């Protein structure tokens, strides 16, 4: 079993029976899997308001730290935004990252 497969098996322990994230992982590879799953809920070529971004994130988690995940999505370059936070959009990540 390779490392990626190992992490994919471990990630299931971070989700409840309804598929909601119950805890944000501390290990970076697990965080990347979580962020990638949340990012998949955003369509490409669509602009979102901060409220819409918060709603999409809230629908994926069973805890209240929406701001943490929004910031992590942005810093991890899964989504981008205008400087004032008025518009957000999904970024296409390259295969080499």
State how far the Cα of 44 lies from the Cα of 92, in Å rounded to an integer.
8
pLDDT of res. 72: 97
Percent of the chain residues topping a pLDDT of 70:
95
Total-model pTM = 0.89
Rg (CA), the chain: 14
pLDDT of res. 75: 96
Q: Is 88 helix (H, G, I), strand (E, B) or coil?
A: strand
Confidence tier at 6 by pLDDT (50, 70, 90): confident
| Tokens encoding 28 | 């970076």
- The answer to whether residues 43 and 90 touch, using CB atoms and an 8 Å cutoff, is yes
Q: What residue spans define the domains of the chain? A: 3-90
pLDDT over threshold 80, residue 93: no
- The answer to whether residues 39 and 90 touch, using CB atoms and an 8 Å cutoff, is yes
- What average pLDDT does this structure show over 69-94? 94
pLDDT of res. 66: 97
Residue 1 pairs with which residues in a beta bridge? none
- The answer to whether residues 29 and 7 touch, using CB atoms and an 8 Å cutoff, is yes
What are the pLDDT digits (tens) for 38-73?
A: 999 999 999 999 999 999 999 999 999 999 999 999
State how far the Cα of 33 lies from the Cα of 70, in Å rounded to an integer.
15
pLDDT of res. 1: 65
């Amino acid at each position: 079993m390779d490392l990626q497969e190992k992490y994919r098996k471990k990630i299931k322990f971070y989700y409840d029976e309804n598929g909601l994230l119950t805890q944000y992982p501390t290990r970076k590879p697990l965080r990347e899997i979580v962020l990638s799953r949340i990012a998949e809920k955003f369509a490409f070529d669509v602009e979102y308001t901060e409220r819409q971004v918060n709603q999409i994130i809230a629908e994926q988690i069973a805890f209240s730290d929406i701001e943490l995940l929004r910031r992590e999505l942005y810093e991890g370059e899964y989504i981008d935004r205008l400087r004032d936070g008025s518009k957000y959009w999904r970024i296409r990540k390259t295969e080499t990252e």
